[in-house]
Structure 1
Amino acid sequence: MYIPKTLLIGLKADDFRHPLDFQATQALKQMPGLDIAVRNLLGPVAEQFFYLNNIASSVLVGEQQLPHLHKLLLEACSVLDLEPPQLYIQQNPIPNAYTFAMRGKQPFMVIHTSLIEMLTPEEIQAVMAHELGHLKCDHGVYLTLANLLVLAAGLLPNWGTILAQSLQERMLEWLRCAEFSCDRAALLAVQDPRVVMSVLMKLSGGSPTLSPLLNLDAFIEQARAYDEISKTELGEMLKAAQTQQLTHPVPVLRAREIDRWASSQEYQTLLEKRKKEYNQKTEKMGGWRNW
């Protein structure tokens, strides 16, 4: 059953940005010349590369092309108070979605067909909102570099010897931290933590046939078991080694973070504050509207 969502008019990135994202971003800003190098040197080339790739091998979603997906995107943008980016659907057997955005340029997101095939419409919208979180948090410059590093990893197996090791480690750490903020954006858009956690569960062990059979409560309990490992020094070391080269935090950790934030006073206060402001504005306009 569809539940109307509170439109978060005036929502700012710092209203929901995860503390780890803030800390990691501040650390990157301390690296001299990094922002300028990406924006003026790497950015324009990467922008053209990804744009041409999308035009050549993806489908641009719109009112006349997969309109049901277009509607999900517009609704998520309305809730998050954000201008809609372009949305491309790409045939790919690896479930994934990513965003590209340089300031002042046309942002876009790409979702792979294999991801869409195993998610419900609400879960697809949560994925879209997660990607919108990158735009809302202005992750564009560093996200560009992160995407290039991931691309280089596929094309150049020994990329770690070409790029400075410290930059590689910092960028991966930043990307993992940024994902927590984007998960929060997904929650704000769908306003149901179980939808977001279900996406993470299906990314862990889902498929078009298995996804409907998965048990979300069992997955949440699994996340608690992951926490138990941290109670020993060896367990904490093993977890750190496991995640050091990952672009995303492990799904159970992301699910735990969303579960905690959804239960927090911070989240509830944010929704109530935005709902009150929205109601005041719509009353002045002589009407009241919700998605």
Structure 2
Amino acid sequence: MKHESHAELAAALWPDKKDVPVKLLTCRHCGRRNRVQVPKAVLEPSRCECGACGQALFLTPEEPLTRISSSAYEHSLDRSTLAALKALPGFPALVRWLMSNLGERSLRLECLSSTVMCGEAQFPELVKLLEEARHGLDFPSQPTLFLSESPHANAVTFGTEEPAVIVYAGLLDHLDDTEVKSVLGHELGHLHAEHGLYRTVALVLAGGSGLLGTVGQWLSFPLQKALYKWMRCSELTADRAGLLACRDLSASLGVLMKLAGGHRPGTRQRTKMKLAPFVQQARTLAKQEESSWFDGLLAMLLTMNQSHPFIAWRVMHLLEWVEHGNYLDILSGHYERAKNPVAA
């Protein structure tokens, strides 16, 4: 899918020119406050200069977000649901039991047994995209990258001691390089925000019921449902990391659209999917859920057993962050920095 031009994307995202969102941003060079229109700042950041000193307001795509803390882009729902999860009776004991008895060994063994490990001699092109995403987020450690044969467009991460990212081959059929970098940044965001431990627990619970026996069944309802709820909210944090890694809103939104509708040969031969109606679809859904408590409840019930939220919900939250959150503040160099960065 060829990405829309800046003008087309701006018209799609912000059709009402009288209601274009505006941000006040502080120049990192001279401290002057600048009033900028969000569409121009998001889609053409290189054209935004300080009105006082004339310096660039935003970091270039090649400049890393030096020592950025995951707290700088953490979604509030991620933070609150994780706190609720940790407060559940028995959950800390479950984590200790799982990690001491199974840990990451079973998942890593499965990867080494059934997938291809990528490196300088094996799929260096994919490793390069991971390195670019890692550079953009200034993520200190280098996770092991695996490629798994699957028709599904997906990627997953796990681990704390030896973090790993698994890319499903179907993903490469659907996405261009910038979109793949957004996905890899998304997975690095999970690791950066220290989701690895709890996502590993979720993967072990989902795939190791035979190993867990009655313990897994005992935990099946309250803890598993709470874990799924947190995982859905953690995706919102990771989506932000993906955008920060690629710094291309059309690519990040394009990933979500393709996850919703696919990008198979049969689709490409018949039509060209466009972001404009897809974004409008997400905005319509947001208004519908806001105006009807029943629709909001229904959406919650429909995703109760899922590890990922609805695609349109993710689009809505990502756009809200871009328009009204601190996305542009981060790109202008104003963000919370890690106090004790981990060595690579």
Which whole-Å CA distance do the structure 1 matches of 2:230 and 2:98 have between them?
21
- Which residue of 2 is the match for residue 269 of structure 1? 329
**Helix, strand or coil for the counterpart of 1:94?**
coil
Question: 1:168-179 alignment to 2 at 5 Å?
Answer: 168-179=224-235
Structure 1 partner of 2:124: 67
Give the aligned partner of residue 193 of structure 2: 137
Letter in structure 1 aligned against 2:120:
E
Using the size of structure 1 for normalisation, the TM-score is 0.85
C-alpha displacement of 1:140: 1.8
Aligned residue for 1:193? 249
Q: Alpha-carbon deviations, 1:109-129, whole Å to 9, x = none?
A: 101101111100011111111
What are the ranges of 5 or more consecutive residues in structure 1 without an aligned counterpart?
Answer: 278-291
- Structure 2 regions of 5+ residues with no counterpart? 4-59, 338-344
CA contact (8 A) 2:88 2:223 kept: no
Q: Are residues 67 and 184 of structure 1, via their aligned partners in 2, closer, same or farther at CA, if it must alter by over 3 Å? A: same
Amino acid at match of 1:6: E
Aligned equivalents of 1:155, 1:226: Cα separation in 2: 41
Percent of aligned pairs sharing the same letter? 33
Q: CA RMSD in A?
A: 2.6
2:91 paired with 1:34? yes
Residue 22 (structure 2) aligns with: none
Structure 2 residue 107 is matched with structure 1 residue 50: yes
Residues 153 and 129 of structure 1, relative CA distance in 2, 3 Å threshold: farther
The correspondence of residues 105-254 of structure 1 with structure 2, limited to 5 A, is: 105-151=161-207, 161-209=217-265, 210=267, 213-230=272-289, 231-254=291-314
Relative to structure 1, is the Cα distance of residues 178 and 16 closer, same or farther in structure 2, using a 3 angstrom cutoff? same
Query: Residue 141 of structure 1 aligns to which amino acid in structure 2?
Result: L
The runs of 4+ residues in structure 1 deviating greater than 4 Å are 152-156, 158-161
Q: Which has the larger radius of gyration?
A: 2
Per mean C-alpha deviation after superposition, the further-off stretch among 248-257 and 258-267 is 258-267
* 2:152 corresponding residue in structure 1: 94
User: Residues 193 and 258 of structure 1 are in contact (CA less than 8 Å); yes or no, is this contact kept in structure 2?
Assistant: no
Q: CA offsets per residue over residues 192-231 of structure 1, 9 Å max, x none?
A: 2221111111111113323682111111111012113211
TM-score normalised by structure 2 residue count: 0.73
1:85 aligns with 2:180: no
The amino acid that maps onto 1:78 is H
Distance in 2 (CA, whole Å) between partners of 1:221 and 1:155 is: 45
Partner SS for 1:207: coil
CA contact (8 A) 1:43 1:144 kept: no
Which amino acid in the other structure matches residue 57 of structure 1?
S
CA distance in 2, matches of 1:184, 1:261: 8
How far apart are the structure 1 equivalents of 2:299 and 2:186?
A: 24
Alpha-carbon distance in 2 for matches of 1:167, 1:94: 27
Distance change >3 Å, CA 265–CA 33, structure 1 → 2? closer
* SS in structure 2 of the partner of residue 261 of structure 1: helix
User: Does the residue aligned with 1:111 lie in a helix, a strand or coil?
Assistant: strand
Q: How many residues align?
A: 272
